[in-house]
Structure 1
């Protein structure tokens, strides 16, 4: 007859193994949680079937989620989604580990801009752009370059993104270009141009909905915007157009990284490879989730209309050096607030 104590120990040991196995097959992902139903349909459920694992999530905005990883010294999540400005902060603070590209073969099929945007760390899984939107029924001639923001006929018609938003510091970069200098090297000429732009500026906005409301009420006819807001903006004001800028819109990348204390690094690489699959990238684009970065994805003109899409458009984008921007940002915020009385 078996010893009852032996049976109990065996049962406890088996339970421990089962628990460890369950833990080993759990992948923790930090992301925003937008488009929850579509992400569940196209990413979560299919990947769980592929890996035989369970996905669990930590949600919130960029700053809060990155701060949690920092507090935990790079532990607690296996994959983290961030905009490139925040992933650069995480890299600078030593919170992420380099990507093993041999375990993410789909990286090779991405646009060059997306493959390795931050020096050996995570790829971009989608791409957007910051540009100018304007009400074509009220602005004539059309806006065709960044310097048009300074046109005299646009007095008291422009809204700028607040300096602490994603697009705000880009105004300083553009102002530096207009002045013929690099704002990272010498910000004085850039802020002189921003001072000259002030008569055209009605208000700084801090959210997309605030910017859309300013167009809807007729308080503004021109603004800087990220392209993901264009659909809602045109629904509110159908005559609003995205300006085709001869000197190029500015790229915004959303990246995926593996924190240095990730518990399941192999599965994290498998997940990143999964979301970069061209067929999934196409499905997400067709269903209004994200713009594709897989170069082989082909969309109809209707499907592509809302996205930063195609080699020609992507090759024409300006890139932001976020290591320089993050180093300059505090000083820029103070100078911006002096101009706009904030």
Structure 2
């Protein structure tokens, strides 16, 4: 774990230096400036891309969609490739921030399963702007030695028995998704009475919460510092490798099924290099390397066929049968007024 984290820190630091002009000069085939989630790619694939194409990779990381968006919107740094989530891609399309992808330059897109492009139509209606990179669910991770009863509902996150041992996501949409689903509502609702009910539920829960965190859910659960946490399915796979006492479930009230995809900003300086980068990431051996490294589910069907570990290949966490679950949704962009509404309610929760 420490080795992986150290490598990610070094990678981020090195490429951040390059981004600010402190690194080496461009290669003969130019560069591609990539903006991605933290610890969301195998660093070796970046080296391989540079060696095979002669294109220099400038790499930067973000922690949330909400941190990424204003930086891209401001245009101070001309990123060539970004990896936002579904609803944020929808927002970027509506605000004319993305360029249409020339799929003639991405022949490896054939490896991506049709069902993921179909799901992508919810936020990219004509599949013009995005190429799926990873997908997954949000669920409950719990420690079987610390939790007595079976876990199948979001309601356990309100059980006083686990006071100061509950971890929540420090994300307005994820936190409200949990509370909205618990109350039987859509996670994309704009009904203020429903949002107020979710807010009240989160305020009631707050004294029980040890911390609102993001990546730290994984580390705290591995280290037995908490009994229950809200987590992304890809992180759950990794935590189970490190701590066999951990179990992941999708609650019966439903959850978020998400897709993170590669997109190209409209102000990209190196669009063809960006398409070369996306094509490389869609190659089955590269997709497999990234899946093994980050443990987030790959939509790359050819890569899946290469998975040697049958338990992982058939994992219901990595590759769930969505027909087994009810009330699954993908986040939608709710407009500026909708964002403001959620943020206002979230501030009320945090202020308590």
TM-score range, shorter chain: 0.7 to 0.9
Rounded to whole Å, the distance in 1 between the matches of 2:221 and 2:141 is 12
Correspondence 1:128 to 2:136: yes
The match for 2:30 is 26
Rounded to whole Å, the distance in 2 between the matches of 1:138 and 1:271 is 44
Rg comparison, structure with higher value: 1
Correspondence 1:293 to 2:313: no
Change (3 A) 1:336 1:30: same
Matches within 5 A, 1:164-179: 164=172, 167-175=174-182, 178-179=183-184
Rounded to whole Å, the distance in 1 between the matches of 2:221 and 2:285 is 38
Instruction: Tell me which of 204, 216, 224 is aligned to 2:230.
Output: 224
In structure 2, stretches of 5+ residues that fail to align are 1-25
Rounded to whole Å, the distance in 2 between the matches of 1:307 and 1:79 is 31
Change (3 A) 1:224 1:199: same
Stretch of structure 1 that moved more, 103-112 or 149-158 = 149-158
Displacement of 1:207: 3.1
Rounded to whole Å, the distance in 1 between the matches of 2:176 and 2:29 is 41
TM-score (norm 2): 0.71
Q: Deviations over 1:91-144 (max 9, x none)?
A: 232111122333323334323453262313112211232111122223332112
Matches within 5 A, 1:140-289: 140-150=148-158, 158-164=166-172, 167-175=174-182, 178-180=183-185, 184-196=189-201, 198-201=203-206, 202-203=208-209, 204-209=211-216, 212-213=219-220, 220-230=226-236, 233-234=239-240, 238-288=244-294
TM-score (norm 1): 0.73
Change (3 A) 1:127 1:326: farther
Change (3 A) 1:210 1:51: closer
Count residues in correspondence. Answer: 314
Q: Deviations over 1:257-292 (max 9, x none)?
A: 111122332332222122112222123223446432
Instruction: Tell me which of 309, 314, 321 is aligned to 2:318.
Output: 309
In structure 1, stretches of 5+ residues that fail to align are 1-21
Q: Deviations over 1:285-336 (max 9, x none)?
A: 2344643211231332444588953362599593323312765232223224
Instruction: Tell me which of 97, 100, 103 is aligned to 1:101.
Output: 103
Please report the RMSD computed on the Cα atoms of aligned residues, expressed in angstroms.
3.8
Instruction: Tell me which of 64, 69, 74 is aligned to 1:71.
Output: 74
